[in-house]
C-alpha cells in the first residue's frame, strides 16, 4: 500500500467517499501488488524461496506443533 501511495498510483481520488473504501480499480491494483510480493523471491536460510512457500511451510509447522503439542517457532525475517 505504501509503495502505491508513494508512487502516486493510489491517492485520495481513488477513495469512494460514500463508504471510505478504495474504488474497484484501485483494489485490483492493490491485490495485484500483494500477489506479486507473495510470489516474489527472497533468500531465507541460504535458499531462494517465495513468501508463498514460507507461508505454506509455516502453516505445516504450526499444524504439526498443534497436533504433537510441541512448541512452535514462527518465521522471522530481519529487515
Residue 79 predicted with pLDDT over 70: no
| CA gyration radius, the chain | 18
0.85 surpassed by pTM = no
Q: What are phi and psi of 19, to 5 degrees?
A: -135, 15
CA atoms within 13 Å, Cβ hemisphere of 70: 9
Band (30; pLDDT cuts 50, 70, 90): very high
Amino acid at each position: 500500500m505504501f509503495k502505491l501511495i508513494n508512487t502516486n498510483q493510489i491517492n485520495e481520488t481513488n477513495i469512494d467517499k460514500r463508504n471510505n473504501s478504495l474504488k474497484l480499480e484501485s483494489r485490483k491494483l492493490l491485490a495485484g501488488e500483494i500477489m506479486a510480493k507473495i510470489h516474489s523471491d527472497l533468500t531465507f536460510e541460504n535458499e531462494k524461496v517465495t513468501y508463498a512457500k514460507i507461508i505454506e511451510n509455516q502453516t505445516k509447522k504450526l499444524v504439526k506443533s498443534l497436533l504433537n503439542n510441541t512448541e512452535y517457532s514462527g518465521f522471522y525475517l530481519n529487515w
